[in-house]
Chain A
Amino acid sequence: MGAAQQSATGIGSENGTRVGPAGASAGVLQPHTVGERDMVQLLDAAGNRRHEDTFGPYVDELDAKTLRGFYRDMAVVRRFDAEATALQRQGELALWVPVVGQEAAQIGSGRAMRPADYAFPTYREHGVALTRGLDLADLLKLFRGISNGGWDPRENNFHLYTLVLAAQTLHAVGYAMGIQRDAAADSASEPAAVVAYFGDGASSEGDVHESMVFAASFNAPVVFFCQNNNWAISVPFEVQSKVPLVNRAGGYGFPGIRVDGNDVLAVYAVTQWALDHARSGKGPVLIEASTYRVGAHTTADDPTKYRASAEEEAWRAKDPLQRLETYLRAEGLADDDFFAQVKNDGDELASHVRRATLALGGASIRQKFATVYAEAHPLVAEELAWFENYEAGFAAADTQTSQGGAA
């Protein structure tokens, strides 16, 4: 476990906060903290490959097509994100939650998953959705106000977005415990694991703690993937924790890895490692991906009110796409044609999403009556009947106004 926790620079760097008394008395916690500068990195901000013993091998074996694929995925999801933001500014969406800046953390971890694995996102994992094979246009229904879901999670093993922070981490652990039960009942069932996504803000919620307690107690096959994008709306990470979040894993007794969240290769590698660990019955892992929320929290937010543009600029210099493009070009793995094609792919997806969004029908209040309960319910039936009768009492109006709820 020690090796896995060490970054290339070694553990317990002098940046780590000392948490206990000096000396090594029995029963006294030693400050083996992973510091701010400690993280697994295989591709630095300038696009140079870095060697690393434990995780390097996971990437060394990847072919060029896969590497180009990482770039394409990140570029396409960034383009999608820009289109969704524009749609909100045009009044087509009530709100949009931008993912810009976090593409590597999501594409890297998403691509490490297998089809049988299951992901529990927060509400910003549009990149993971792409890797799970969703039609990204489905993500917009929630923000258009016609559904609180938008897709069938069972089709792509990608759960609905959960807006109550951290609630999904418990569901993820439970799902993983369910996988354990299935494996116990049928040893031939395919090993699978769950990835529970959450942010630095959510990490303060009690549910995250409880989910880690349960995961540890039951040795559940779950990877806790924390995208520490350094901001919880306007509250900076220092208010959530004085030490990097990865250190909490030690408190629960399972491995923790801090990774450069803007390095898609490193993210991919550590997630592979973690999923292998979980799938093979060794229990949970916490990954803290250090990244940055380049955009606002949502389109209703204004970061100029609480953070310095200098900070944003510093992080833009560590952009995940830029470094990979530099590397691919330098290694001769991708050329102008490739990047032009990627741009086209992005524009096509954007166009598709725009078209699909504008074509979305309204929501139906009648459908809401029908989906409160799975089984017939007398009060719901009665209220629906009342509503039908009530509506019938009005003169036939122009029922084209969508969101009012006719249809």
Chain B
Amino acid sequence: MKTMTIAKAINEGLRATLANDAKSFLMGEDIGSLGGVYRVTEGLKAEFGAHRVMDTPLAESGIIGTAIGMALRGHRPICEIQFDGFVFPGFNQITTQLAKIHTRSDGQLSAPVVIRIPYGGGIGSIEHHSESPEALFAHTAGLRIITPSNANDAYWMIQQAVSCKDPVIVFEPKRRYWLKGEVDTENNPGDPFTAHVVREGSDATIVAYGPLVPVALAAANAAADDGHSVEVIDLRSISPIDFDTVEASVNKTGRLIVAHEAPTFGGIGGEIASRISERCFYSLEAPAIRVGGFHMPYPVARVEEHYLPDIDRMLEALDRAFAY
């Protein structure tokens, strides 16, 4: 067991990937000599060479499109999109090409491209650097989307993404890059496309992912003071969603809160709430309640604290759930 930050864990996971899979390589802007704007790829170019850690021209569509070509040739590119807000020039290649190649070729061609994207807010940054666009991609069949919330998952999930035959987008919670955690480099935590119960409880379930998992845990602890026992689930995989774990939990607790930084309207929370309402109807003590950002472009740093779901917003949702 080693203690390391999420950024370091991803770095180690990439190191292990490059060492184990000769066809794998990294490509992105500023990932080589600079080691990435968050230093996630630090030291990898020195260790593996420019051939395996490639600085690309500043062109997101170009990065994704050429990665597809390289994957078609049998290689395993791991792309980095520098910030969530800059994935959009590559959106066409991701949705019309990467997601569809397997279907278009009647199952004969695969493009196992991994795309790493730092996402989320809470870092006091300027425009376009705090987005949570995961719902746009989740709504696109053919892609898989995962997001680690802790160092151990960060270490393992990137490696599992690379060995998956389907295209995988890995959303990395950038405000948690410095969050430390224990990493077990010997035992992999299992299927990356499953959810984990990270806190058991009996009165309500909070489902969260990525940057909000620590917040959900804090909210659950605070709720304990009020005499409520709250279960917290780290969703880990946004597409596919491990509904079985969520359903089992809500059948037990009768109340569901889903939280994400992305706006509530049109977000993943709606999919989960809707599904749970259908599947757990007879167990529900209260309607499923979503906690998310407001329907507005991500606001300026000075007011982002009012936008982001925090412990109070989650407790407010819990209060409402318990009022029924």
Contact = CB atoms under 8 A, between A and B. Distances in A.
A179 B73 contact: yes
Interface in B57-112: 57, 59, 61-62, 64-75, 77, 89, 92-93, 96-97, 100, 102-110, 112
B164 interface: yes
B20 to A, nearest CB: 16
B106 A367 contact: yes
B204 to A, nearest CB: 25
Interface string A178-194: 11011011000000000
A148 B62 contact: no
A211 B62 contact: yes
B96 A171 contact: no
Interface in B8-64: 22, 25, 51, 56-57, 59, 61-62, 64
A273 interface: no
User: What is the interface residue range for chain A against chain B?
Assistant: 35 or more
Contacts, number: 139
Contacts of A378: 193, 240, 242-243
A372 B74 CA distance: 20
Nearest to A170: B65
A206 B61 contact: yes
Nearest to A192: B73
A154 B51 CA distance: 25
B69 A167 contact: no
B194 to A, nearest CB: 10
Given A153-B109, A181-B75, A206-B61, A171 B68 contact: yes
Nearest to B67: A174
Interface residues of B, number: 48
Contact of A171 (B56, B72, B100, B164): B72
A373 B25 CA distance: 23
B267 interface: no
Contact of B107 (A167, A206, A371, A377): A371
Interface string A124-151: 0000000000000000000000011100
Contacts of B2: none
B141 interface: yes
A371 B69 contact: no
Interface in B217-262: 240-243
A51 interface: no
Contacts of A153: 72, 105, 108-109
B214 interface: no
Contacts of B121: none
Contact of A173 (B25, B69, B166, B243): B69
Central interface residue in A162, A174, A206, A367, by most chain B CB within 10 Å: A174
Contacts of A310: none
B320 interface: no
Contacts of A370: 107
Contacts of B164: 375
Given A207-B65, A214-B59, A164 B142 contact: no
Contacts of B97: 162, 164, 167, 171
Contact of B57 (A148, A182, A217): A217
Interface string B188-231: 00000100000000000000000000000000000000000000
A175 interface: yes
Contact of B68 (A170, A182, A213, A372): A170
Contacts of B61: 170, 206-207, 210
B69 A372 contact: no
A24 interface: no
Nearest to B105: A149
Interface of A: 147-149, 152-154, 159-160, 162, 164, 167, 169-179, 181-182, 184-185, 206-207, 210-211, 213-214, 217, 367-368, 370-375, 377-379
6 contacts: A148-B100, A149-B104, A164-B92, A175-B70, A206-B89, A373-B102
Interface of B: 22, 25, 51, 56-57, 59, 61-62, 64-75, 77, 89, 92-93, 96-97, 100, 102-110, 112, 141-142, 144, 164-166, 193, 240-243
**Which 6 A-B pairs rank lowest in CB-CB distance, beginning with the nearest?**
A174-B69, A170-B65, A178-B73, A174-B66, A210-B62, A374-B165
